[in-house]
Every structure is written in C-alpha cells, then in structure tokens.
Amino acid sequence: MESRSSSGDMGRIASWVKSHRPMYHRATQHPFVVGISDGSVDLSAFKRWLAQDYIFVKEFVPFLASVLLKAWKHSDDESDMEILLGGMTSLSDELAWFRKEASKWDVKLVGIAPQQANLEYCRFLQSLMLPEVDYAVAITAFWAIETVYQESFSLCLDSSSKTPEELMETCQRWGSANFGHYCCSLQKIADRCLEKASSDIIRKAEEAFVCVLEHEVNFWNMSCGE
C-alpha cells in the first residue's frame, strides 16, 4: 500500500485500508484461510468454497467487462484497458481451473445453487454494472475484490505455513507475487481516478470498498458452513 497522493502523504486507497483496518483484517485473515495456512481446514468447507466461487466467477466476468467498458469511455490513461484486458484474459483460464479442481475433488458444478451470501454478493456486482456507476467506484470495488484474495491466499504461501500440498495450487493462483503486482496496478488506477473525483464519488467509492469487505467476510463464513 505505497501509493501516494498530492492531497496527502498516503493514497486514498491506503488511507481507507488503514481507517477500516478491523474489517479489512477480518476479510483478509478469515479463519477459513487461516485454516488452510495452518493445515486445519475442513476439506468439506474447501469444497463448498470451490463450488460457490465458481458461480461467483461466472458473475464476475460480466462485471469486469463493465469495468472495461467504463475504462474505454472515461479513463484518461490507455494503459488502464491493457491492465484490465489482462485480467479478463486470465478469467478464461480461471474458470477452466475451477472445473479441473472440481473434477479432482469430486465437486459437482452443474445444478449447484448459489447460497444466500453468494447471491447477495452477485447482486452487489450487478449494481456496480449500471451505466450510472462511476468508473472510479467500479475500479475501486474491482481492486478490493482482487486484493482480498491476494492478501488472503498469500498467507498460505508463507515459509512458516503448513498449507496442505493438495491446496498449494489454489493458494499460488491468488497469493503469488505476480498476482500481487497486478493488484498494485489496479490500486494505482483507483488512486489516480479518486484524485480527480468529486466528494460524492469518493464517498460512493469508499462505501463500495467497505461493501466488498463485508461481502468477502460473509462469503468466507458461508464456505465454513455458517
């Protein structure tokens, strides 16, 4: 979180992470992920997460497409589209990965109904896809969604972790340094957009950030069977 802003010592995104630290901590160091990192995770919880996150990622595709469209219309930096296109390209591989993992764990993906926390998260994504939602708000939410996973699963790659070998590929997918660099790129885009945004847009972007954290905590809770 090293982005800087002309309006202060700390970028807007970093300041929000600091001011909402308790909720950010609950989202990025949830017992579900801590259980993976210390080897105590209930594999039935992992399988539940796998099926539900597959549903979520399918909804995530049109959301990212809408962010890409907003970038095309409103961004003042062409590199935004290149970065977002990279994320869009990776989603095809991600969906294939989910299908492969589901086969390995004997998890059925066809006919699986989204649970309540998943439904509510997907509805939130759909609300961000509306044309009237500002690009700064949408890119902030997108950064937050990606970063929660990056910070969460990076815990499982720490040298002191006891992550089960069969779950290492999952953790490497989102916890890797490369994915971390991608999240930093998204943060820089969000900070740049927020520097030029009105106070109303800044307020809505912060609300979207907090909503992402709340939905992530609920999604982890759902995965644990709560």
- Can you tell me the mean pLDDT for 30-56? 97
Q: What is the separation of C-alpha 116 from the centre of its chain, rounded to a whole number of angstroms?
A: 18
- At 5, phi and psi to the nearest 5? -135, 145
**pLDDT(202) > 90:** yes
DSSP 8-state class, residue 112: P
Q: What is the pLDDT of residue 10?
A: 75
CA proximity to 217, closest of 121, 103, 98: 121
Q: What is the pLDDT of residue 107?
A: 97
**pLDDT(87) > 90:** yes
Contact 117, 215 (CB under 8 A): yes
Crossing angle for the helix pair 43-74 and 135-154, to the nearest 10 degrees: 150
State both tokens at 226. Answer: 């709560």
Q: Is 166 a catalytic residue?
A: no
Give dist(CA 132, CA 41) in Å, integer. Answer: 41
Fold of the CATH domain 15-223: Heme Oxygenase; Chain A (1.20.910)
103-117 per-position pLDDT tens digit: 999 999 999 999 999
State both tokens at 30. Answer: 């949830």
Average predicted confidence (pLDDT) for the chain:
94
Contact 190, 13 (CB under 8 A): yes
Give dist(CA 192, CA 133) in Å, integer. Answer: 17
Q: What is the pLDDT of residue 22?
A: 98
Q: Which of 59, 151, 206, 216 is catalytic?
A: 216
Q: What is the pLDDT of residue 8?
A: 45
172-190 per-position pLDDT tens digit: 999 999 999 999 999 999 9
132-141 per-position pLDDT tens digit: 999 999 999 9
**pLDDT(11) > 70:** yes
For residue 208, what pLDDT band results from cuts at 50, 70 and 90?
A: very high
The DSSP bridge partners found for residue 8 are 5
- Full-model pTM: 0.94
